[in-house]
Chain A
Amino acid sequence: MKTYLGEFEELVLLTIAMLGDDAYGVSIQNDIQERCKRSISIGALHSTITRLEEKGFLKSWLGGATQERGGRSKRYFEVTQAGKIILNETKALRDNLWSLSKSTLSLQK
């Protein structure tokens, strides 16, 4: 069965891709909150990440502990090849729809 990305899933995946080497729990949540101006719950974020991992769009590893974390390591995330493919597919679909309905969606009157 083909899997589809939810809106929030897509957002999380893109954020992780954007953050690159520094994508871990706090930084992802922080970035989404700042960028989208919306408050997200840590539980919801990690649930989504877990599901994305199950679907094979993300991989993770433990690393880098810092003082302010009480010496606990961070879990870093990276978008997998499958993740990249689905992101591209989603974008292509959107672009296609955009190009077809440009006139109706135009904000200028």
Chain B
Amino acid sequence: MKHLSPPKFARRLFDWYCGFASVEDLQGDLEEWFYINVKSKGLRKAQLIYWRQVLALIFSYAVKKRKRDSNFGSLSSHPLSFSMIENYFKVAYRNIIRHKYFSVVNVVGLSIGMSVGLLFIAMFSNVSSYDNFHVNKENIYRIISHKTEGIETYSYASSPTALADKIESDYRGVESVVRINSSFSDEAVLEKDNIPLEGYYADDSFLSVFTFEMIEGAGRSALSKPNSIILTETIANNLFASTDVVGKLVEFKTLGSFQVTGVMKDNPKNSHLEFQVLVSYSTLPSSIRENGGNPELWSEYRNQYVYVLIPDNQLQSFEKFLEEVSKKKYPTPQNISATFELEHLPGITPGQDLRNSIGPQWELSGFIMFTAIVLLILLPACFNYTNISIARALKRSKEIGLRKTIGGQKNQIFFQFLIETIVLTFVALLGALLLFFLMRDGFHSILAESSKLDLSLTPQMAGLFMLFALFTGLMAGGIPAAYFSRLNPIQALRNQSTRAFSVTRLRKGLTVFQFFLSFCFIIALVGFARQYRYSLNYDLGFQQENILDIQLKSVNKETFKSEFSRLAPVHSISMSSGILGINPSSTWMQTSNNKDSVEVFQLFVDEAFIPAFKLELLAGKNFPVETSQHEQYIIVNEEFIKERKIQNPLDALGKTFRIDDKDLEIIGVLKNFHFVSLQLPIKSFFFRTDPSQFTHANLAVSFQDTHSALTEMENIWKKLAGNLKFEAHFFDDEIEEAYSFYDALLKVFGILGLLAISISLLGILGMVVYTSENKIKEVGIRKVMGASTLSITVLLSKDYLKLISIAAVLSIPVTVFLFDIFVSAIQHYHITLSVWDILISLLILIILGIGTITSQTLKTASANPTEALKYE
């Protein structure tokens, strides 16, 4: 009879596939069919049919449905009944209360981990609300341009306003076009003071396309006439101490008088357009305004922007139109060409990184970096939770075994643990919120565009925070929940864990990763701190102390000199076209073979400058006193002659170079000094003498009483310059300020490092507490047998120290490598991490790590053994 049974493998496959589902009747049917078929069609055929039927059933809805039903016992008809969920919350609550220590460690860790995430969410949700207030936002587009000059292509936020005229005359489908020129900048003349104002020249369609609320004035036609101006509320109050000012005149220093035609509310913070005043576009000189066939208008269009309001159905044909315009206006063999692209208003912030942006700009790339940082902080915190939960699995396994035995299904257990984690993350959310409020202001002040960012809590943000907590819960709780739900109930009840080995490995890996990260942060911090000091103390090659620089503005140089040199503490006054060491100007100069031009940096100075700054002449002499009206001489630096392959400085003297159409003779060679900040290497440089370029006076001073001397200077200044502001700075202060970004960098890295380190320490603390607790009996017995406190402490700490050492060893090469790349990218003259930096970092890590571990192990080791042994 045996050869007459259905194919074994097919039967097993079917049994295996159906699992616990009740398919007894189907199995019976299959077998019955088999015997019927054997009789009528023969064994071979019957087996084949049996196979076919098995497969047909496996893919049928009938079996799928029965399998689904079988997941739940006959008593629970719904997968998640309300009372079960209630029970999960109850168990979660009891667990958190019972294991207070672990709960605190977990909550603190997750709070820290989530705090940075909250900052990110707050910032991102604010930035993505940019320009939401415009009623027409869905149909407003900015025309941006990709301009190619030579071989380089850059993307600009601006595009030629001549294009706007072209659109108006040649394309029908656009509802309105707004031309903006952002170059309005002048000082409003008041009785007492002048107030500098900046704003846009804009078409009157600006007011109908964008939604900026008007308080006073003629509404949509306010910008139709030339010399009309709309003020924002603050500016109106500043100028007239009232907002009821329509019709009044504002006198500007260079641009003449304007009539106020409206007052509008201040720009909302979340606007990518930022202006104090709006001036009618027709005010602009016609050379810039009109498309008079001037080809320049299509190649040089800084500060010109074009916005269009366009219905959706016109988009495609409009894009085609722009393409054609670009082809027509820039015939192929030409130096400059540009293509145009529509940028949707809501997509401007956060958006792509464009040149010549009209207002504050938030690049998407920055946010991607930020996301990476958030994950770097959040993931270790989640690891901690995962780590500690799995470590405690043995204690929970009895509960799980029991649950499973009395009918708990896999996904129910999974859900239970997930809920437990989520409850915990919501508690942690409160802690994270607290940290968020603490860090917010500091974070705000580091950002470049901070004034345009509003990080106050909104309902929308609160919702996002909750979602984030949920997400964190899923991430932290996923692995433990999956692990627990898969426990075999028999083994769980017997206290055997089959997966112990692989799980321990995973845990160790996670710990190593955390300390790896922490150590990277420590090294980077030590490195940056040294780099900061290094930059500040760097010998720039010239005098920085006791030099005061004053912006000349419109004051006559000669009178300035004669007035200020009368003051007692002023030793000498020299003039220059800028501040030495910070952003020098440059010019282009032909090389000897007259083919290429090279860039040479320059500063215009007078004869008193070089001695005042104690610059060292290698050869030749200083500029002669009172050079004639024509510029004749230059004094170059070493690099200049080196680049021109002149070996001896003396040989360079007397050589002439053609610069800006003048033949200038070298009369001196200076030792190299840092004429530009340390971010850039020293390049070719020369001093020139054109007095018309002077903008700064550099006063060598020795002050007894700085304050009174400065007031005295200010009084003289007032006599000379009227109500222009007196701007004087100490040279070394300005230099220091140029490096202040290191301060911000240190702060950011410091805080992030602190967070990362505390998370790792919390993680290891939890683990140590757990192992120590488990080994209380062992420790008791060892002590009774005569082990010393020290040897037990070492025994308990050994494993963790090993993990920390591995992490340290791994992270040293990585950090040294990354640090070098990063630092050399921001500054040419930089340090490399030395053995000492690493030793110091190592010391910090060891103190923190050992401190945390031994604080617990020592406690366990020094406990009274009788207590421990009485424990059970």
Contact = CB atoms under 8 A, between A and B. Distances in A.
Interface in A45-99: 46-47, 49-51, 54, 62, 65-66, 68-70, 72-75
Nearest to A25: B29
Interface string B1-29: 00000000000000000000000111111
A44 interface: yes
B25 A44 contact: no
B25 A51 contact: no
A29 B58 CA distance: 18
Contact of B56 (A44, A50, A51, A69): A44
Contacts of A62: 24-25
B25 A72 contact: yes
Contacts of A51: 61
A6 interface: no
Contacts of A42: 29-30, 33, 53, 56-57, 60
Interface of A: 24-26, 29-30, 41-44, 46-47, 49-51, 54, 62, 65-66, 68-70, 72-75
Closest 5 CB pairs of A and B: A43-B56, A72-B28, A43-B60, A75-B25, A46-B62
Contacts of B55: 43
Interface string B30-47: 111101100000000000
Contacts of A30: 36
B57 to A, nearest CB: 5
B871 interface: no
Interface residues of B, number: 24
Given A43-B59, A46-B62, A50-B61, 4 more contacts: A25-B28, A44-B56, A70-B27, A73-B24
B98 interface: no
Contact of A41 (B24, B56, B66): B56
24 contacts: A26-B32, A26-B36, A29-B29, A41-B53, A42-B29, A42-B30, A42-B53, A42-B60, A43-B55, A44-B56, A46-B60, A46-B63, A47-B61, A50-B61, A54-B65, A62-B25, A68-B31, A69-B28, A69-B29, A72-B25, A73-B28, A74-B25, A74-B28, A74-B29
B25 A47 contact: no
Contacts of A69: 28-29, 31-32
A38 to B, nearest CB: 15
A68 B35 CA distance: 7
B61 A73 contact: no
A29 B62 CA distance: 15
Contacts of B29: 24-26, 29, 42, 69, 74
Given A50-B65, A68-B32, A25 B56 contact: no
Interface string B47-86: 0000001011111111101100000000000000000000
Nearest to A67: B35
Contacts of B66: 50
Contacts of A41: 53, 56
A24 B26 CA distance: 10
A30 B30 CA distance: 13
A30 B59 CA distance: 21
A73 B56 contact: no
Nearest to B52: A41
A73 B32 CA distance: 11
A25 B26 CA distance: 8
B62 A50 contact: yes
A37 to B, nearest CB: 16
Nearest to A47: B61
A83 to B, nearest CB: 18
A66 B61 CA distance: 26
Interface in B235-288: none
Nearest to B56: A43
Nearest to A70: B31
Nearest to B35: A68
Contacts of B53: 41-43
A47 B59 CA distance: 10
A75 to B, nearest CB: 4
Nearest to A75: B25
A73 B57 CA distance: 18
A46 B57 contact: yes
Given A47-B62, A49-B62, A24 B25 contact: yes
Nearest to A40: B56
Nearest to B29: A25
Contacts of A74: 25, 28-29
A44 B60 contact: yes
A43 B24 contact: no
A65 B27 CA distance: 12
Contacts of B63: 46
Contacts of A25: 25-26, 28-29, 32
A93 to B, nearest CB: 27
A24 B55 CA distance: 20
Nearest to B49: A42
A28 to B, nearest CB: 10
A72 B31 contact: yes
Interface in B692-751: none
A46 B32 contact: no
A64 to B, nearest CB: 10
Nearest to A76: B25
B62 A72 contact: no
Contacts of B58: 43
Given A25-B25, A72-B27, A43 B32 contact: no
Output the residue of B24, B26, B35 with the most chain A CB within 10 A: B24
Contacts of A26: 29, 32-33, 36
Contacts of B65: 50, 54
B558 to A, nearest CB: 97
B857 to A, nearest CB: 62
Contacts of A29: 29, 33
A65 B28 CA distance: 8
A62 B31 CA distance: 16
A37 B36 CA distance: 18
Output the residue of A44, A68, A69 with the most chain B CB within 10 A: A69
Output the residue of B25, B35, B60 with the most chain A CB within 10 A: B25
A46 B26 contact: yes
Contacts of A72: 24-25, 27-28, 31
Contacts of A65: 28
A29 B30 CA distance: 12
Given A26-B36, A50-B62, A69-B31, A43 B25 contact: no
Nearest to A28: B29
A47 B62 CA distance: 4
Contacts of B61: 46-47, 50-51
B637 to A, nearest CB: 88
Contacts of B36: 26, 30
B596 to A, nearest CB: 80
Contact of B57 (A24, A43, A68): A43
Interface string B512-543: 00000000000000000000000000000000
A41 to B, nearest CB: 5
Nearest to A72: B28
Nearest to B31: A70
Nearest to B55: A43
Output the residue of A62, A65, A68, A70 with the most chain B CB within 10 A: A70
Contacts of B26: 25, 46
Interface string B761-800: 0000000000000000000000000000000000000000
B248 to A, nearest CB: 71
Nearest to B30: A42
